[in-house]
Amino acid sequence: MFLIDVLTIFPGMFSGILNESILKRAIKAGVVNVKLHNIRDYSKDKHHKVDDRPFGGGPGMVMKIEPIYDAIKDVLKGRKKSIPRIILLSPQGRALTQDFAEELSKNRHLILICGHYEGVDERVREYLITDEVSIGDYVLTGGELAAMVLIDTVVRLLPGALGDKDSAKSESFSNGLLEYPQYTRPADFMGKRVPDVLSSGNHKIIEKWRREEATKKTLLNRPDLIKT
């Protein structure tokens, strides 16, 4: 089974996404196990402090390395088999793309570390992790939402996570293009009609139309995706 260990100071943030829809089903079906670990539980400080002031001065607080180190050590205890990817979520990381998510889904075990405050002690980056991942060029209040995005993106790629009706194949990005437009009933909504070609029954023409529409949409919305 695919295992995801999440190290966070806000484990409660994850209950929504793990208890609804496809992730809930995948967990129930034994496709994935998501374990939440509160980094505060690993603080040796009597107030369960996980942050401290930055050396050299400056604003804000920095996440300490010891509780993160101890949490990782605990998560790895007794596990000899697969070597996990140990991922720090931060805006400084490698961009999460569909290709990267597919690469991550080929592993068996991910450990996600959710950063906070002004940042984490640089030695976490230098000595404890295998990857640093960003979900986009904007700054979140913490790594939790980014971890949830990563979990959602990776889990839906795991065998058995999606039912027959939710296909991971013909969708945006899997062929380098955005998705073609989809329609369902009614064929006429307040005078706005579904393109006739889709009711033609001619699958060749429909496929051609969809390819053209996907290309048009990609050129318009995301020209950077079209490799030259």
* Integer Cα distance of 160 and 32 in angstroms: 10
150 Rama class: left (phi>0) / alpha (psi -120 to 50) / beta: alpha
Shortest distance in whole angstroms from residue 176 CB to ligand ADE: 23
Q: Contact between 134 and ligand ADE (CB under 6 A)?
A: yes
For ligand ADE, which residue of 31, 89, 128, 177 counts as binding (CB under 6 A)? 89
The residue nearest ligand ADE at its CB is 146
Helix or strand (DSSP H, E) at 73: helix 65-76
Residue 11 or 210 having the CB closest to ligand ADE: 11
Q: Which is nearer to ligand ADE, 89 or 162 (CB)?
A: 89
The distance of Cα 80 from the centroid of its chain, to the nearest Å, equals 25
The residue among 92, 78, 87 whose CA lies nearest residue 114 is: 87
DSSP type of residue 12: G
Q: Which residue, 38 or 134, is less far from ligand ADE as judged by CB?
A: 134
Span interacting with ligand ADE, options 50-58, 118-126, 136-144, 208-216, rule CB under 6 A: 136-144
Does 90 bind ligand ADE (CB under 6 A)? Our answer is: yes
How far apart (Å, rounded) are the C-alpha atoms in residues 219 and 228? 12
Tokens 């706005």 belong to which residue? 192
**Position 146 contacts ligand ADE (CB under 6 A):** yes
Residue 86 near ligand ADE by CB under 6 A: no
3-state helix, strand, coil in the chain (%, to 5): 35, 20, 45
Residue 143 as a binder of ligand ADE (CB under 6 A): the answer is yes
| Site residues for ligand ADE per CB under 6 A | 89-91, 115, 134-136, 138-140, 143, 146
